[in-house]
Structure 1
Amino acid sequence: MATLRDIKRKIEAVKKTAQITRAMNMVAAAKLRGAQANMEKFHPYADKFREVIERLAAGVEQDGTFELLTPREEVRKIELVLLTADRGLCGSFNNNLIMLAEKFMEEKAAEGKEVTLICAGRKGHEYFRKRRFAIRKRYTGLLNKPNYEDAYNLGREVIELFQTGEADEVYLIYAQFVSMLRQVPTLIRLLPVVPESRGDEDRQIDYIFEPSHEVLLNDLLPNYVYVQILESFYQTAVSEHAARMTAMDNATNNCNEMVRDLTLVFNKARQASITKELMDIVGGAEALKKK
């Protein structure tokens, strides 16, 4: 049975752990506020950009004029961009993204397609480098402060892979922020560009473009990819901070509960020790009386 000194040492250790997790919770909360504000500012722009591309792409014939819009006749090579955090201590956040990526890659491999991975985040790279999956490149630090330059560099790379034929399709996995308690791993196709349909109401309107329809699309399609990537950066960054905040809050609560349990064990052990000492004293006194 553990001694009183051992139990007291455990209690102090758990209290110090609770202080650390509480501090990490506060840091995550502070970072979350800034990241969420940036995400909320950028989201209307990204949403409107998707709407504009959808309207422009609606009247385009799939004749190969716009390379980023034209699906390949045969898909043999797929590029997957996986966004994960660089650090842990955020619950199942990274694991959920990694499992979705692994499932997707195994399904495509079973179809006879070659899948190559771009890891944007240290946790994803650490997982897949120990396994049989091919990793083309690794990025770190993208979620610390999401910016257009990083999104442009990553977007430029995947566009070149698509244009040179090294990738017939490009997919992106990121964490979509829904609420503080829910971050959904999401898979989207970046290339070829296929904007989601919003219905047929706006498609009946005849728009006048200046400059021409073709010039606008050639200029906006690459930017659409960059905007999609930057939006995923913001979503994933906010999701990471929310997941870490929740995980540290749970860890702090668990530490407090453990301290209560250990304190109860300590009190019981101390009471047993006092009772034993009293019995020894009483036993000694009775022995002296008999003499």
Structure 2
Amino acid sequence: MAQTLETLSRHSDTLKSIRGIVHTMKTLSAINASPYEHAARSIEAYHQTILQGFAAFAYRTGEIALRRDGALEHLVIVFGSDHGLCGNYNEILADLVKQHCQTQIIGKRCLLCIGAQMNDALDDQGLTPDAVLLPPASADGIGRLAGDIVTRIDRFSQGQPLAHLAVTLAFTQRGEQGLREPVTRRLLPLNPALLQREKYWNSCSLPDYTMPADALLSSLIRSHIFASVFRASAEAMVTENSARLALMQQAEQSVDERIEQVLGELRSVRQTEITNELMDLIIGFEALKKRGKRKGEQAQRT
């Protein structure tokens, strides 16, 4: 069905408005990703310091053999998106969490979900989170979220030994060639490699400490947990904004192509109307010309 010039004009104006919205969302995604990326780099540097602290503690104290009892309690922390416009970001991660729960967890399980939309995605997979937290609205909120999660891990442990507690982080991280990949990372029990003693200490000064060993180790473990949770949250926010940016770029390209198509149709319809008006003028002129000629012939006969 042929569209009128007025209809195509309204359609073009609507598409231009949509393009403006898409461009704004793309710009916001690019701007928002930068602080989260900076936070991820910063916490990674801090985490490396904590890992060096573990190495120094093990060198000074001697290698510590961690208990490898089967974990009795399993906590899975899932970092999702709550802002939309990022495709199947939550659904892909929810599917990975379901596979992890089915293959890696035996016994009691607890799910802590970050993001209401992630909660819906987990519910579609038949998983019901025990608690839902809101994702950070800015890079400053990552620290508050990480502190809240560490507190909840303390409550979840209920004084149990670390060997009886398993904590897994599920989030989406940056992959190779600008891609993103959902991953699961074991946070607890601690990796035995953290407390393995190095044969040689690469420094002129040997490590030492003055505070009680138990208190120092407890502080190192808490800092390790905080840094790991912080980094997972920052990576999740970086990849969420990257996914939204990629989708907005695709949407902007599609809208641009549609605008070009509508403008082409608009030019065609406008040209057709101009042609029709010109034809009406020519036909009218010819009709008047013929009528004037007939009147002239009649006047000559009379």
Is the pair's TM-score, using the shorter chain for normalization, greater than 0.5?
yes
Q: Give how far 1:18 is off.
A: 0.8
Quickly say closer, same or farther: Cα 1:247–1:47, change in 2 above 3 A: farther
Identity %, equivalent residues: 20
**Greater Cα offset, 183-192 or 113-122:** 113-122
RMSD after superposition? 3.4
TM-score by length of 1: 0.79
| Cα distance in 2 for residues equivalent to 1:284 and 1:113 | 90
Runs of 5+ unmatched residues, structure 1: 63-69
1:47 is the counterpart of 2:43: no
Q: Give how far 1:25 is off.
A: 2.0
Contact 2:95 2:125 in 1 (8 A): no
Q: 2:81 aligns with which of 73, 81, 85?
A: 85
Contact 1:53 1:224 in 2 (8 A): no
Q: Give how far 1:45 is off.
A: 1.0
Contact 1:115 1:134 in 2 (8 A): no
Amino acid in structure 1 at the alignment position of 2:122: F
| Cα distance in 1 for residues equivalent to 2:12 and 2:98 | 41
Q: 2:65 aligns with which of 61, 67, 70?
A: 61
How many residues are matched?
A: 279
Q: Which residue of 2 aligns with 1:146?
A: 141
Runs of 5+ unmatched residues, structure 2: 295-302
Quickly say closer, same or farther: Cα 1:135–1:287, change in 2 above 3 A: same
**Greater Cα offset, 9-18 or 234-243:** 234-243
Contact 1:146 1:234 in 2 (8 A): no
Q: 1:188 aligns with which of 185, 192, 200?
A: 185
Q: Please state whether the residue corresponding to 2:183 is helix, strand or coil.
A: strand
**Greater Cα offset, 21-30 or 227-236:** 21-30
| Cα distance in 1 for residues equivalent to 2:128 and 2:115 | 16
Amino acid in structure 2 at the alignment position of 1:152: G
Q: Please state whether the residue corresponding to 1:91 is helix, strand or coil.
A: coil
1:162 is the counterpart of 2:157: yes
Larger helix share, 1 or 2: 2
Quickly say closer, same or farther: Cα 1:203–1:264, change in 2 above 3 A: same
Q: Deviations over 1:40-68 (max 9, x none)?
A: 22221112323433665681123xxxxxx
| Cα distance in 1 for residues equivalent to 2:178 and 2:15 | 25
Contact 2:78 2:171 in 1 (8 A): yes
1:177 is the counterpart of 2:174: yes
Contact 2:150 2:226 in 1 (8 A): yes
Q: Deviations over 1:157-210 (max 9, x none)?
A: 124323556x8422111222357932332210111121667xx9x721266542
Contact 2:39 2:234 in 1 (8 A): yes
Q: Please state whether the residue corresponding to 2:64 is helix, strand or coil.
A: coil
Q: Please state whether the residue corresponding to 1:72 is helix, strand or coil.
A: coil
Summarize the alignment of residues 199-278 of structure 1 with structure 2, pairs less than 5 Å apart: 203-205=198-200, 208-211=207-210, 213-276=213-276
In terms of Rg, which structure is larger?
Answer: 2
